[in-house]
Structure 1
Amino acid sequence: MEPILKLESARLLMRQWRDDDLPAFAAMCADPQVQRYFPATLSRLESAALIGRLRGHFAELGFGLWALERKVDGQFIGYTGLGVVDFEAPFSPAVEIGWRLAREHWGYGYASEAAWTALGCGFERLGLEQIVSFTSVSNQPSQKVMQAIGMQNDPADNFEHPKLPDGHPLKPHVLYRINRQQWLKTLQA
């Protein structure tokens, strides 16, 4: 499949990663507030390695986490996109939708706008039947985005993240899902 390297929404360009994204991306990943629902902040080297893995996902699967750029000024603001769940869980194999934005871009609806665009790509262009999203139980901001794009949580689906050690405060996770039919209904609403 030809990689999907670019998507657009009203205010955002979702594009392939560029080398000049690294300074802003590394600053975002080093921000303790941005990373508070992740196990740790990332160094510049770890951020560069993550960009490499994100590029590799596109090369291998044709989709991934797109770099987010504001159309009005071309500023890098974070990422949003789709990825294959890389651990075993009751809901895997699955494709996950995820996002992370620099703190100064919170509260403008960018995450929901980009996530809605990524859902459309997943269902229309990739032909997926279901997309999941998950986060720590304490991450209310991401759960609000999941709800805003029509995803639903069944408490019976919640799980302990297998990549985190027992007792870690982020180990308890919620799982949200949306299937193609639910997504089509939200389009018609």
Structure 2
Amino acid sequence: MTEIHTPRLVLRRWHEDDLVPMGEINADPEVMRWIDDGSVLTPDQTAEAIERWEEDWDEEGFGLFAVELLASGELAGFAGLSVPEYLPEVLPAVEIGWRLGQPFWGQGYASEAAHAALEFALQDRGIERVISISRPGNEASENVMRKLGMVPERVTTHPVHGFPLHVHAIDLSEFDA
């Protein structure tokens, strides 16, 4: 089982008892504001998403980690890797992403979890290049990307919703573990 410990977090595979707290995160309109079209997810959609994330681990050898606070055991959200199939023009690619509940914002957890996931991608899984995709205005996520050492690569358009997307990238030679 893949598990990563940082000073304050545990990045791990998903457990059945993660469904309720992840469902609460996905049901928060402020959390989901920058995700896809901004729609919140139902508990059933969250369950399906977690199932897909676990399947990605089995198929790809990487995926989205559940992010748990080391001190309390609370689920803060997720961080990890996926293939951005919704944006064919960047493929083949591996994307790093994160989503945390509001109580966990502004404390550096997203940067800490994303750095651990990026290190896992580049050093453990041998992925030589990782991208991250954001919507213009999502300053919090773009700040995490900068902290990771990612640089803007291109601006494109979401193929379904038509809004602009910023694509950032980093490769193994640029990563500072």
* TM-score category, normalised to shorter length: over 0.9
Flag as ranges the 4+ runs of structure 1 deviating above 3 A: 87-90
| CA distance 1:43–1:10, shift in 2 (3 Å) | same
Match of 2:172 in 1: 180
Match of 1:31 in 2: 28
Residue 88 of structure 1 and its aligned partner are, at CA, apart by: 4.4
Query: Taking every aligned residue pair, what percent have the same amino acid on both sides?
Result: 35
Residue 90 of structure 1 and its aligned partner are, at CA, apart by: 3.4
Partner amino acid, structure 1, of 2:58: A
Match of 1:159 in 2: 156
Q: Secondary structure at the match of 2:167?
A: strand
Could you tell me how far apart the structure 1 residues matched to 2:29 and 2:87 are? 28
Larger Rg computed on CA atoms: 1
Partner amino acid, structure 2, of 1:117: A
Partner amino acid, structure 2, of 1:180: L
| TM-score with structure 2 setting the length | 0.95
Match of 2:75 in 1: 76
| Number of equivalenced pairs | 175
Partner amino acid, structure 2, of 1:131: V
Could you tell me how far apart the structure 1 residues matched to 2:160 and 2:64 are? 20
Stretches of structure 1 lacking an aligned partner (at least 5 in a row): none
Could you tell me how far apart the structure 2 residues matched to 1:163 and 1:151 are? 25
| CA distance 1:123–1:46, shift in 2 (3 Å) | same
Could you tell me how far apart the structure 2 residues matched to 1:88 and 1:24 are? 28
Partner amino acid, structure 2, of 1:87: Y
Q: RMSD in angstroms over aligned alpha carbons?
A: 1.2
Q: Secondary structure at the match of 1:14?
A: strand
Stretches of structure 2 lacking an aligned partner (at least 5 in a row): none
Could you tell me how far apart the structure 2 residues matched to 1:174 and 1:61 are? 25
Superposition pairs of residues 24-173 of structure 1, within 5 angstroms: 24-38=21-35, 39=37, 40-154=39-153, 157-164=154-161, 166=162, 171-173=163-165
Could you tell me how far apart the structure 1 residues matched to 2:87 and 2:95 are? 13
**Contact (CA 8 Å) 1:5, 1:63: kept in 2 or not?**
no
| TM-score with structure 1 setting the length | 0.89
2:19 aligned with 1:22, yes or no?
yes
Q: Secondary structure at the match of 2:29?
A: coil
Could you tell me how far apart the structure 2 residues matched to 1:89 and 1:33 are? 27
Could you tell me how far apart the structure 2 residues matched to 1:162 and 1:99 are? 21
Residue 8 of structure 1 and its aligned partner are, at CA, apart by: 1.5
